[in-house]
Amino acid sequence: MRIASIIERVEAYDPRQSLDNRADEMPLDLEIAKVIGLASEDWQVARGSVTGYFSGDGVGGFGNPTVPRYTRSLDAAMTLVPDNADAAGERLRLEAYNSHGVLAPHVRASAWVAGAPRAYAATPALALCAAALRVRAALQNREAGDE
């Protein structure tokens, strides 16, 4: 399943180990956008920006559409949390660790979103991305089982 492999990549990614984390994160952000249906499958990263055919306001064309920085921004990562991810009034929990690798050398944060297991990653934004994608995967599996 494609979403599962993206979750693995998000949890394993450590921006501190990258020489150019902006270049490394962009393809991951684009893959997240594709799996949630925000980006078209033909969009790709070229020369440091996303390129592809897109349409908006009734006009289409080839250009540089904007992809949210899910892996870097908590605000962008929050948009991945489904609206129906709520259990007993608690929608999510986000924790950051100040010690050097509580669970593994790169883990500095964890996130839990109602409806899926806790996710662990190098940054709070990455942990929230992974947790939200876990919920989306669970919801997709539930919907597939209902059909």
pLDDT tens digit at each of 147 positions of the chain: 589 999 999 998 887 776 555 555 678 888 898 898 887 777 777 656 676 766 555 555 566 667 888 998 999 999 998 876 554 455 677 777 665 555 555 667 888 877 788 888 888 899 999 999 988 888 888 777 765
Q: How far apart are the first and last CA of the chain?
A: 18
CATH for 136: 3.30.2120.10
The confidence score (pLDDT) of residue 133 equals 92
Check: pTM over 0.75? Answer yes or no: yes
The CA distance from 78 to 47, in Å, is 28
Give residue 47's pLDDT.
Answer: 59
Domain total for the chain?
1
**Residue range(s) defining the domain that contains residue 85:** 2-146
